[in-house]
Amino acid sequence: MLAVCCALIAASCHKESAPVVTEPTIFDIMVEDYQALVKAFPLAKDNFVEARFVLNNEISAASAASLKAESMEVICYTWIEGFSEIFVLDHDLTTGKTEMNHYSVDTPWTGDMKIPESEMQGLKVSLEEAIERAKKDPEAAAGDGLDTHYVTFRKPLWPVWPNPQYVIGGSAGRKNHVFVDSKTGDVVSLEAPVEEGTAKAFISEDYNMMIDQFGNFEIMGYKIEIHEHWVEAQYILNAPVNSRQASELFPKEVTYIFYAPGASKDGKDVMARGWRDFTAGPMAKLDMSMEELSSPWTVDKYIVSDIIDDLIGVDDAIYNLKISPVTDTDTPNVTLRWPAIPALEHPQYVFIGEKTKSVYVDAITGDVMEAK
């Protein structure tokens, strides 16, 4: 009996512990989604370009532990016989639902290097760790680069990076972009320059010029205050969107519209306009005018000055439309506005088609939506 008891005790002392089960990281799930795309569309293999994440809160507003990715979009791209073949897997990380899509467009994918499987296998930093490192970095935390729900895993063509990066801030309109290296974990914060002479570069300059002009000089015998009363920027392109590739499209002119209720001498609503001809170059004059209105402006909300620096340019809006599965619109007219529709959280670049469906491109995130 003693021998049996000793044997049992010895067996219990040497019993192997249960294996530790670790939760898969978002990086692990991203790789699984990429592999699912390759299985469904073999052309996607070694053509990974981006994974776009939407978080449950702004990075700057919450602790790293509480930040979770709610959705993920994995994108693969290749160029075949004059067309971009784009493969997309949308993954709702809350419900677990996934949806695959494949479409062709005539515009090349620009801005990213491809990330082959061999390179992906050597990466160590997960999205969760990238967010934690970014929040602890003093330079990243000091700018506006963490004031966002969006993170994109990609390898930008410029600036040149040795490894794929988690790009926090995402949109071209953000002043600061935070990069976290997916192999080393290094954090870099860069200020995104606005190219001189572009439509994007003129937005802030023209906005301030119009405020100064109408606030300090009498145009119709009185001055008006138009600060925080901007409602639209109406662009005219050199050709309809569906007639050329993105690289061949550009804005020829823009008309800015401000609406100032009760601003006239006798209390009438006033519309102030500014017009610029982009084809005349950076030295072109901004022409201004104003008129009194007989009825109120009701179609748009104001585009407040706090978000002007965050707006993407009309060129980015055109490119985002071109690489989306949405049908290109048959119009040369694009209007930056904030339609008075509760579901729209940000101003939009609105492409109103003549025979095609109208399209909205979010002027902050770049998301593309076809009008119902």
Our CA angle for 68, 70, 72, nearest 5°, is 110
Query: What average pLDDT does this structure show over 201-205?
Result: 91
| 9 band by pLDDT with thresholds 50, 70 and 90 | very low
What pLDDT sits at residue 170? 54
Q: Tell whether the model's pLDDT for residue 10 goes beyond 70.
A: no
What pLDDT sits at residue 20? 58
| 359 band by pLDDT with thresholds 50, 70 and 90 | very high
| 282 band by pLDDT with thresholds 50, 70 and 90 | low
Q: How far is Cα 77 from Cα 44, in angstroms, rounded to an integer?
A: 7
Express each pLDDT in 362-371 by its tens digit: 999 899 999 8
Q: Report the percent of the chain where pLDDT is more than 70.
A: 92
Please give the DSSP secondary-structure letter assigned to residue 172: T
What pLDDT sits at residue 8? 44
Q: How far is Cα 247 from Cα 238, in angstroms, rounded to an integer?
A: 12
Our CA angle for 50, 55, 58, nearest 5°, is 120
In 3-state terms the chain splits into helix, strand, coil percentages (rounded to 5) of 25, 30, 45
Please give the DSSP secondary-structure letter assigned to residue 222: S
What's CA 154's distance to the chain center, in Å?
Answer: 14
Query: What average pLDDT does this structure show over 163-189?
Result: 86
| 158 band by pLDDT with thresholds 50, 70 and 90 | confident
Express each pLDDT in 232-277 by its tens digit: 999 999 999 999 999 999 999 999 999 999 999 999 999 999 999 9
Q: Tell whether the model's pLDDT for residue 172 goes beyond 90.
A: no
Express each pLDDT in 288-334 by its tens digit: 999 999 999 999 999 999 999 889 999 999 999 999 999 999 999 99
Q: Tell whether the model's pLDDT for residue 113 goes beyond 90.
A: yes
* Residue predicted with more confidence, 10 or 272: 272
Q: Is 332 exposed, middle or buried (0-12, 13-18, 19+ CB in 10 A)?
A: middle
| 21 band by pLDDT with thresholds 50, 70 and 90 | low
* Residue predicted with more confidence, 16 or 353: 353
* Residue predicted with more confidence, 256 or 143: 256
Q: How far is Cα 76 from Cα 54, in angstroms, rounded to an integer?
A: 18
What pLDDT sits at residue 143? 86
Express each pLDDT in 46-100 by its tens digit: 999 999 999 999 999 999 999 999 999 999 999 999 999 999 999 999 999 999 9
Nearest-CA neighbor of 352 among 336, 365, 363, 366? 336
Mean per-residue pLDDT of the chain: 91
**Helical axes 314-322 vs 199-216, angle rounded to 10°:** 140
What pLDDT sits at residue 6? 46
Q: Which residue has the tokens 């293999």?
A: 45
Q: Tell whether the model's pLDDT for residue 11 goes beyond 50.
A: no
What pLDDT sits at residue 17? 59
Q: Tell whether the model's pLDDT for residue 5 goes beyond 80.
A: no
Nearest-CA neighbor of 203 among 231, 246, 224, 233? 233
